[in-house]
Every structure is written in structure tokens, then in C-alpha cells.
Structure 1
Amino acid sequence: MTGSLVMRRVLMAVTTAIAASFVLFLLLDVGPDPLALLTNDSDLSAADAARLAHQYGWDQPFIVQWAHWLGNLLRGDLGISLRSGRPAAQMILERVPLTLAITLSALALSMALSVPIALVVARRAGSRIDTVASTIVVAMAAVPGFLIAILLQLGAVHLKSLTGTTLLHVSSAPRTNGIGDVLGHLVLPVVALGLLQTAGWVRYQRAALLETIGSEFVTGARAKGLRERSVLIQHVLRASLAPIVTLVALDLGTIVGGSVVIELVFALPGLGRLLIDSVEAHDVVVVLDIVMLQALAIVTATTVSDLVVRWLDPRAARM
């Protein structure tokens, strides 16, 4: 993998991010007028409405508004919330740690569950274990994320009624009673989001592992007398890392979207909760900032995964 390839991928990522910002801004522009929504929801005078329109540049042509917003974004200025009057960057930064903790923990849980399960079912393809596991995975993939979260909540409440002990917190935001209290509030959301991703990942990884197991170099490794454990870990799993990395990057958008639902069900004050509250309050400044930051995260993850795949698999670097 050469430096020119890295530069091309970075340039492509920057171009994609700029295009995404244009599309997002265009979608908001063709939607309802934010000033009209604010006027309908509050006792906003005509003078105040004109002042707000000038302050946020809504009296300018679309392309001027977009260029001004993009320039401010590059400088780290995310604007001022229409509802609270606070800097949008400050509001977002307050919510990022919780959402990041849930998302990364769920990602780690999904990988920890899906890779071993996929390895077992791929190794025994066509067996009863493979059939049962595939049936369970398909059924789980069909269950909505909010339903998984609600079922986990009900299970935790039922467990408390049986044991008389609160093992896991099922609602409300974590308080400041120490790390144990925070973890207690995050266990169920992380499990719900992790299970939501595990089902799809098992199917994808099973297919990738089956393709690798049937390859010639794996047959050659077995012919050399290597133990099956060594063949699976050192050859099969290592050769399947590239599609797994790609899967994680491509599924990041689903994880981010799923975290919004999970935060709503468990009443957690994360970035998803802020996004929904801002949509309901017609706070287009905060909505645009959050969606754009999520798009940037997805573009960045996709670019990094592409470079990692090309590093892991030299054949991809020549493509």
C-alpha cells in the first residue's frame, strides 16, 4: 500500500463528506421553513423573525447559506441552538461520551459473539447445529431493535420480582454514584444494541468463513498435518479479517441509527435523544450538525476500513 493510494482515499473521503454536507443542507432547504415553524410555535414578532433570518443567513441564496455553514463547520463553529440559545457544539459534546460508550461497547460485544458463532457454524456447515443456529439468527434479524430493548427491560423487571434484587437498571439516565451505577445503566442498552447487530454479522461472517475454508491454501495447511485449531485461527480466521473489517465499517450507520432507538427506549441522554428532541423542537441547527457529524463518522470509518483491508490483503491494494 503506497502513499499515493492513501492520499487518493483521503481525497475521496473529503469529496464524499463535502457532497454529503451539500445533500443534507439541500434536504433541509426543501423542507419546511424553520422560521415559519418557530413563528407558529412561539410569540415571535416580525422584527425578531427578521433578526433571526439575518443572523442565521436564511435571507441569503441557498448556495451562500451552504458555503457559510460549511466554512463555519470547518472552523469548529457549529452555530447556536434555535431553542436553547446555547452553542450547538457544547450541547453535542455533552452527549457524545454516553453514545460513544454504548456504540463502542455494543460493537465489541457483537464482534465477541458473532465471530465465534460464525466460526462454529461454518466449521460444521450443513449439520444440525448449523441449521439451528441459522434459524435463530434469521429470526433475530427480523426482530426490531426497539422490541429487543423492551424485552430485555421486561426480563430485568421479572428477574427483580423473582430474586428481590435489582441486578440491572432498566430505565432512566445514569446518576453520579460511581462507575458501578453508570455500568449498571449501560448493560441492557449495550446488550440490546449488540444483539441487534450480531444476527446479521453471523450470517455474513459464516459466508466469508465458508469461502475461506474451501480455499486451496487451507486444504494445503491441513495436508501438512497442522492441527485443526491452528488451521482455523492462523489461516481461516486471519484470511477472513478483511471482509469482517469491511462489514463493521459498512454497518456503522446501522449501529448509529440503532443507538438512537436504544437511547429512546432506555431514556438515556445521549446524542440520539438530543437528535429526537431537536427534531421535535424544529431546531434545524442542532439537527443538521448531528446528522453531519454522523455522516463524517461513517465516511471516516469506511475510509479507514478500506485502507486496513488493503493492508491485510495485498490483492486488494492492486485493485
Structure 2
Amino acid sequence: MTRSDGRIPLFTRLITAARPAGAHARGSGDVSFAQVRRRAREAEAAGIDALLLADRHAAAPDPADDPHFEAGTLAAALAVSTTSVGFVPSVCTEHTFPYHAARALATLDHLGAGRGGWQPLVHADPDAAANYHREPSTAPERHARATEFAEVLTGLWDSFDDDAFLRDRASGAYFVPERLHALDHAGEYYDVAGPLNIARPPQAHPPLVQRATDPGELALAARIADVVLLPAHSAGEAKAVRDDLREQARRAGRNPGEVLVLLDWPADGATGAADRLLSVYEAEGADGFTLYAPSPDPDTAHDAVLSLAAEVRRTSGGPATPPGPATLRDRLGLTRPAGRHGATV
């Protein structure tokens, strides 16, 4: 991690629910893309670095809790409607094929000039399993599948070297065949030949964002995640969890400095919230924060997050947005992965 601009990474979940209308109002609970786009643009202006786009493969017991839009499609639409904020759609590794996910996420990263990420969904969801005629799997199975899924995605994203495409009219050369690589992955859960039929993403590998709420998910995150989202802890507990996670990443053969830990932080209107957040950051309890608001009203929750984000930017002295174009990896201080086959630019 090489962030030196004084900016604290801030994420939040993009709220796609509408304000409830009257009990007998037609269309109560509906939400328009224009409303969601407005919220995304307001979050961008307030200094949010990335928006988490929730998704699920089954109807929620309460329709108000449904994500309303398919996350990948929504992320692509918002990427061309904004200029700097990142988008991290959820991808269910149980019910999605890796080739399709690799293509969709690479496309998102190209559309947003390097502002894409992804969050694997690995929790048990019997309703989703029923929609795919599958039995719910165990936690170890889900984690093993997610690990292999992530391995296949990064392999597919490395199908083309960075300098594979010449697009030279004079010579008539479109790309260099030797800089295209088949994957030929044969694993426990997936057999994927490759190569991917899209150029290497601007970020090479869109950052993998993983929520960890128990020891098993923490171990998974240490193996595969670039950004780990943790529940709220006290400053001392947060630092202990962060240190443990980084030690697990080191034992997994990774550079622990390339694994960021973002702590959940409530935007509840409490006095001094930004100062307390900064104290946890300065005590190395977290590398950044995921802001959320406890209010059930979507507009109230959205406004509370914007207010806290703006306050954090003012208090910390860091710019709301980085100067000039920046990928999501740039904003987080994460290095761009080299290609596994050699030449990169």
C-alpha cells in the first residue's frame, strides 16, 4: 500500500430503496434509476471512494430489502454516469460462472476507466439455492469454491498482455498473437479453457472486496481479498483483528501491506464521530471505513452518510477526490498486479 495523499478510504453501500409512500399509494416502494444515480453522484461529491452494490439471487422476505437492480448492470450504468467514484457489485460465487463474471467485471472496469471492483457472496442462501435446483453447500465448500472462482477470474483477466493490442493501420496488425494466453484451468469446481475475449482491465485485476464476520470468512479474506470489510469494533479490538488478518495473509504467501482493512462505522449523527473515526485510523485500527446509517428511512440514511463523509474529509484535511484521473486501486493505494505471463505496461 502506497497511499500518501492523506486521504482515508471511505466506502458505503449504495441505497437503492425508495422512501416508503403512503399505505395505499400506487407504486409504493418503487425506485427509479434517476434516484439511484443522484445518490451515487452525491456520494461521489462527498468524497466516497467506492459504492457497494448489494445483490441476491432470491426474493427477500421483505420486498423493501430487495436490491431492486441487478448489481452488475447497475454498476455499468452508473460507471458512465459518474467520473471518479468506484463501484463494487456483489457476485454470487455459488450460482455464477467465472467466465461470465470475468467478462462482466472487465467490461465494468473498461467503462469506468479503472473504477470497478467486486465482492464475492459466499454466505448460505437456501432460497437462492432453490432457484438453481441445488442443495445449500457447507461453509468450507463455499469458501473453497470462492477461492477457485477468484483464481479463475485473475487468470482470465491475464489472458492478454497489457501490450497485446497494436491496432496499427499501417501494418494491418491488430494484436500480437504471442501475447494472448489460454488459461486451461482444471480445478475442483471449474474447468475453464479461456482465453477471455476482452483486453486486460485498466486495473489488471479489479479489487476483490470481501466482508468477514467470522473466523472462516476472515481466513478466506486473508487468502483472496484486496479489501476486507469488518464489523465495528473498539479501537483495541479493531487493531487486533487487523493485525491477525495481516498475519494470516503473510502466512498465505501474500504481502500483508496489500490487504486493506475497512471497519464499519455508524453515521448516526453522534457528536465528534469524525474525530473518533480519525483516532481509530491513527491508532492503526483500520485502513479505512465503511460508513452506514442505522436509520430505516433510505433518504435519511443516505444523507447521514454524506454528512459524515464530508465531515471526515474536512477534519482529516485530505481532498474529497484525488487530483486528476485515478483508478480505484490508485485511490486505495493498491499496486496494479503484473501480468502472470510477462510483459506489462
User: What TM-score do the two structures reach when normalised by structure 2?
Assistant: 0.26
Higher helix content, 1 or 2: 1
Whichever of the two has the greater Rg, that structure is 1
User: What TM-score do the two structures reach when normalised by structure 1?
Assistant: 0.28
Higher strand content, 1 or 2: 2
